Amino acid sequence: MSLLDIGCGTGAITAGIATAVASGEVAGPVIGLDRDTDNLAVARQRHADIPNLRFESGDVLSLGYRAQFDVVNAARTLQWIADPALAIEKMKAAAKPGGCVIALDYNHENNRWEPDAPPEFAQFYRAFLDWRTANGWDNRMADHLPGLFRAAGLGAIQVHVSDEIVRRGDPDFADSAGIWTRVANTIGPAIAAAGFTTEREYLNAEAAYRDWVESGLERLALFMRTVEGVVPP
Ligand SMILES: C[S@@+](CC[C@H](N)C(=O)[O-])C[C@H]1O[C@@H](n2cnc3c(N)ncnc32)[C@H](O)[C@@H]1O
């Protein structure tokens, strides 16, 4: 089985897929594609030992593959693309007739923290959503995937609930819930540069959120859906 993973990032998911594919009855090549060369450098270094895996630099919007892969996958990637319909069209073109296109993504408007987040973080999260909207990125990507798949001519569409829920006491609680400290830290500067927050606000949000993960936050639910569709023969 051959697979193309769009927006592979640093390749953790792609490497897991490649290892699973290699142990299957019909092993095949797995390619991780990303437009971020820094991510790709990390991916290549971390996963150099997996023989059926390679990484390529490229933008899904100018993907040149035609009818080549059994599966074309995009995890948490379409949410960063202002023209997801074109991306899905390119993914469909890269898959073989009878092959499968799969996308996993968020509905950021439905993400929930219990109890309510501290005001510093709530304000930052609103700025994050507004900044995304201003860039043309869909905050309800997960909900719009089935319609986009249908419009692209994919058939046999299935939707799977893939929510990520962590509760205090779970072994990975601090790391999983802490994703938003990392978001404030890494994306905060871009959101500030675009005028949706300030350095002071995102640093305050990061600090307040970190404290809250230590003592306060009980449950975080990130709303996610996996959608799959089949390329007509
Ligand atoms: C949130 S990361 C997801 C990484 C990985 N798939 C995962 O689920 O952990 C999104 C990735 O999509 C990549 N990306 C965004 N737009 C892209 C595009 N138009 N073409 C290729 N990669 C893109 C980014 O560089 C980033 O590495």
* Long-range CB contacts (within 8 A, 24+) of 170-175: 173/213, 174/213, 174/214
Mutation choice for ligand 1 from 5, 10, 34, CB with most ligand atoms inside 8 A? 34
Low-confidence ranges of the chain (pLDDT < 70): none
Q: Which residues of 82-92 are buried (b: 16+ CB within 10 A; e: fewer)?
A: eebeebbbbbb
Closest residue to atom 14 of ligand 1, CA basis:
7
Domains of the chain: 59-230 (3.40.50.150)
Mutation choice for ligand 1 from 5, 35, 108, CB with most ligand atoms inside 8 A? 35
Distance between CA atoms of residues 219 and 113, nearest Å: 6
Atom of ligand 1 nearest to the CA of 60: 20
pLDDT one-digit tens code per residue, 75-133: 999 999 999 999 999 999 999 999 999 999 999 999 999 999 999 999 999 999 999 99
11 lines ligand 1 (CB under 6 A): no
Specify the pLDDT at position 77.
Answer: 98
Specify the pLDDT at position 65.
Answer: 98
81 lines ligand 1 (CB under 6 A): yes
Closest residue to atom 20 of ligand 1, CA basis:
59
Atom of ligand 1 nearest to the CA of 12: 9
Distance between CA atoms of residues 129 and 109, nearest Å: 8
* Spacing, Cα 115 to ligand 1 middle (Å): 31
* Spacing, Cα 8 to ligand 1 middle (Å): 6
Residues in a beta bridge with 125: none
179 lines ligand 1 (CB under 6 A): no
Specify the pLDDT at position 23.
Answer: 84
Distance between CA atoms of residues 21 and 53, nearest Å: 10
* Spacing, Cα 210 to ligand 1 middle (Å): 25
Distance between CA atoms of residues 150 and 132, nearest Å: 25
Phi/psi of residue 159, each to 5°? -120, 130
